[in-house]
Amino acid sequence: MLPTPATSTSTYSTLLMIAGLACLFVASIVWRRRSSAMGADALIVYMLALSWWDLTYAVFWAGAPGPGPAFWLNLTYLGVLIAPAALLVFALQLSMREQWQRSFPIAVLAIEPLLVLILLWTDPWHGLFFAGKRTLDMAVILDGGPVFWANLVYSYTLVLLAIGLLLWLFLRSSGLYRRQAAVVLGAIVFSWLNSVIFIARLSPLPDADNTPFVFSVAALGFAFALLRYRLLDVVPIARDVLIERMGDGIVVLDTQGRIVDLNPAARRLLKTPANLAPGAPGERLGKVWGVIRDASDTSLAAGIEARIGEPPQCYLDVRIVPLHDSHQHVVGRLIVCRDITELKRAQAELQHFATTDGLTQIYNRRYFFALARTAVRSAQRLGHPLAMIIMDLDHFKQVNDTYGHAAGDQVLVAFAELCRSQVRAEDLIARFGGEEFIVLLEQTSLATAAQVAERLRLAALQAKLVIDGQPVAITVSLGVAAIAGDRDSLELLVQRADQALYAAKHSGRNQVCVWETGTGMGLARVLRLADLHGGSVALESSPGARSRFSVTLPLTPNDGKGPYRSWPRGSSVGTPGDARWSGHADAAPDHGTLPPGHSNERTIA
| Residues marked as catalytic | 435
Spell out the residues 6+ positions from residue 274 whose beta carbon is closer than 8 angstroms to its own. none
Strand-by-strand arrangement of the 314-324 sheet: 259-262, 249-254, 330-339, 314-324, 302-308
Q: What is the DSSP letter of 363?
A: B
Q: Say if residues 489 and 538 touch (Cβ distance below 8 Å).
A: no
- Three-class SS state of 534: coil
Which regions of 187-298 does DSSP assign to beta strands (E)? 249-254, 259-262
What is the DSSP secondary-structure string of 72-103? HHHHTHHHHHHHHHHHHHHHHHHTT-HHHHHH
Q: Say if residues 23 and 51 touch (Cβ distance below 8 Å).
A: yes
Instruction: Report the alpha-carbon distance of residue 144 to residue 195 in Å, rounded.
Output: 17
Return phi, psi of residue 590, to 5°: -70, 170
What is the DSSP secondary-structure string of 548-563? EEEEEEEE----SSSS
Spell out the residues 6+ positions from residue 474 whose beta carbon is closer than 8 angstroms to its own. 393, 394, 399, 411, 415, 460, 461, 463, 465
CB neighbour class for 560 (10 Å; exposed up to 12, middle 13-18, buried from 19)? exposed
Upper half-sphere CA count for residue 154 (Cβ side, 13 Å): 18
Handedness of CA 219, 188, 130, 201 (dihedral sign): negative
Strand-by-strand arrangement of the 386-393 sheet: 428-433, 436-442, 386-393, 476-482, 512-514
Handedness of CA 567, 568, 570, 574 (dihedral sign): negative
Instruction: Report the alpha-carbon distance of residue 416 to residue 423 in Å, rounded.
Output: 11
- Three-class SS state of 140: coil
Query: End-to-end CA distance of the chain, in Å?
Result: 141
Instruction: Report the alpha-carbon distance of residue 400 to residue 510 in Å, rounded.
Output: 19
- Orientation of helix 211-228 relative to helix 175-199, angle to 10°: 170
